[in-house]
Amino acid sequence: MTTAAIIVAAGRGTRAGEGLPKQWRLLAGQPVVSHALQAFAGHLRVLVIHPGDRARAEGLPAELVVEGGATRQDSVRAALEALAGRGVTRVLIHDGARPLVSPALIARVLGALDSASGAAPALAVTDALWTGASGQVTGTRDRTGLYRAQTPQGFRYDAILAAHRAHGGGAADDVEVARQMGLDVAMVEGEETNLKLTFAGDFARAEALMAKGTRAMDVRMGNGYDVHAFCEGDHVWLAGVRIPHGRGLLGHSDADVAMHALTDAIYGALSEGDIGRHFPPSDPQWKGADSAIFLAHAMGLARARGFDLGNCDVTIVCERPKIGPHAGAMQARLAEIMGVDATRVSVKATTSERLGFTGREEGIAALATAVLLS
């Protein structure tokens, strides 16, 4: 299942006043939209920009950059069209001007999408509602059943693309577009901290929230250890990299001992047992399997629970093959599978000074530690 995250950032931010459009101003040292993009790491991120902002978008963490249109709705439509034919099944549509969206909120929307064609966060209106004119209160309104809509708004991709194509324009958000097409949209609990930067004064509030951390951070740590024996062969797979070697490694899957240790560390951090629980060695379908499947599954479980990888550290114990020349490629491959920046991944190696089974070159061992943050 491929989930795309569309981050709309093609507006001009006129209500926020003079200067750079709000999504390009700095918040905690980074452009506002960069915070929003980072929150969706691991998904196929589409950044929608104004045609004049190409240079500003360079180097931002987005897999696709698309030019938006005159309205928010046009911008979303441009991104949905750009995703056609890419195998996307679900899409999360988020304002680039909401930099404080949390992993837990994203997980709630995705969770609700499992049983609905649309899902979006909202907060019940808690203040009294008035009408007013010329600085005077002119009336009151019943607030029962009224909600403030937030993003990300999540949908089945085909359904929301069809809804946008059929819509005549003028919708405030994608829930309105979806509902006009008869799609059901489930509501999940929004967050006060998930504010949309709209007026100049909102920046100070967002900066303060960032400085103190918007919520208690949940930190989980796990470790993993694995061993595979050498057998006949001409290569080994280690941390997703194929290394020519005079022997192979024995295992039900591709016997990637380093990837298995890391996968177990993530399962450990989630109290989810180990690879054997999720991919039993007795099941023939995993014979010769690419261990990337296991690592991607563990990270998928983590994200479904609102966690992302803080960092991980893998140590491979062997006399040979020499790991140093391959460590960079291993780091890059593990990061790619987990959908994180390579700076969060460390791969190193040690010999055991010719002692024990690794010293006698009977097999390879690997240890890993992973920290998950929510």
Ligand X SMILES: C[C@](O)(CO)[C@H](O)COP(=O)(O)O
Ligand Y SMILES: Nc1ccn([C@@H]2O[C@H](COP(=O)(O)OP(=O)(O)OP(=O)(O)O)[C@@H](O)[C@H]2O)c(=O)n1
Segment contacting ligand X by CB under 6 A, of 107-115, 143-151, 297-305, 313-321: 143-151
Cβ burial, residue 298 (10 Å; 0-12/13-18/19+): buried
Q: Which of 95, 174, 254, 308 binds ligand Y (CB under 6 A)?
A: 95
Q: Tell me: is residue 357 an annotated ligand-binding position.
A: yes
- How far apart CA 256 and CA 168 sit, in angstroms, is 53
Q: Does position 254 bind ligand X by CB under 6 A?
A: no
Per DSSP, what are the bridge partners of residue 91? 4, 155
* H helix runs in 256-317, sequence order: 257-269, 275-278, 292-304
The site partner of 3 among ligand X, ligand Y, none (C-beta below 5 to 8 Å per kind) is none
Could you tell me the two tokens for 51? 């045609």
Q: Does position 9 bind ligand Y by CB under 6 A?
A: yes
Inter-CA distances, 94 with 7, 61, 232, 283, Å: 5, 15, 52, 40
Q: Does position 95 bind ligand X by CB under 6 A?
A: yes
CA-based angle 176:178:181, to the nearest 5? 110
Q: Tell me: is residue 274 an annotated ligand-binding position.
A: yes
Query: Tokens 């100049």 belong to which residue?
Result: 200
Q: Does position 14 bind ligand Y by CB under 6 A?
A: yes
> Is the Cβ of residue 95 or residue 264 nearer to ligand X in the bound state?
95
Of 101, 99, 78, 96, residue with least CA distance to 9: 96
> Is the Cβ of residue 99 or residue 251 nearer to ligand X in the bound state?
99
Asked whether the beta carbons of 27 and 10 are under 8 A apart, the reply is no
Q: Which of 4, 5, 6, 8 binds ligand Y (CB under 6 A)?
A: 8
Q: Which of 35, 43, 45, 72 binds ligand Y (CB under 6 A)?
A: 72
Q: How far is the CB of 70 from ligand Y (least distance, A)?
A: 6
Segment contacting ligand X by CB under 6 A, of 23-31, 48-56, 144-152, 250-258: 144-152
Q: Tell me: is residue 127 an annotated ligand-binding position.
A: no
Q: Which of residues 148-167 bind ligand X (CB under 6 A)?
A: 149-151
- Quick note: the x/- pattern for ligand X over 41-80, rule CB under 6 A, is -------------------------------x--------
Q: Does position 196 bind ligand X by CB under 6 A?
A: yes
Binding residues for ligand X, per CB under 6 A?
72, 95, 149-151, 172-173, 196
Residue ranges binding ligand Y (CB under 6 A) = 8-16, 23, 48, 68-72, 75, 95-97, 196, 198
